[in-house]
Amino acid sequence: MQAKEQNGGSLEEALHRLDTALALLETAVARKLETERSRGDRETEFALLEEDRVRLAAELDAAGARLARMTSTTGEVNRRLDRAIETVEDVLSGPTGR
């Protein structure tokens, strides 16, 4: 009878080790799935950041072009104002200035 108890004990021990191994495997699989999910989330986040970077670079280029046009226009306005001021000064100085 003692042999049966030893065999039964060995079987129970083996089943316990199998349960423990399965629990460890389930934990490892869950961890791996979470890592993969997290990696996918990071890749998605990186893709979104890259899209934002491209969009912001395009907006910056457009803003730079607008600034260049505005600077050019401002320069032209300044030249015209200077000519207008000179003309007004010439008119105000009248024929006596000649």
The amino acid that residue 25 corresponds to is: L
Residue 27 tokens, joined: 């934990």
Q: Using CB atoms within 10 Å of the CB of residue 90, give its burial: 0 to 12 exposed, 13 to 18 middle, 19+ buried.
A: exposed
pLDDT tens-place values along the chain, 98 residues long:
444 455 667 999 999 999 999 999 999 999 998 988 888 888 899 999 999 999 999 999 999 999 999 999 999 999 999 999 999 999 999 876 54
The amino acid that residue 97 corresponds to is: G
pTM of the model as a whole: 0.50
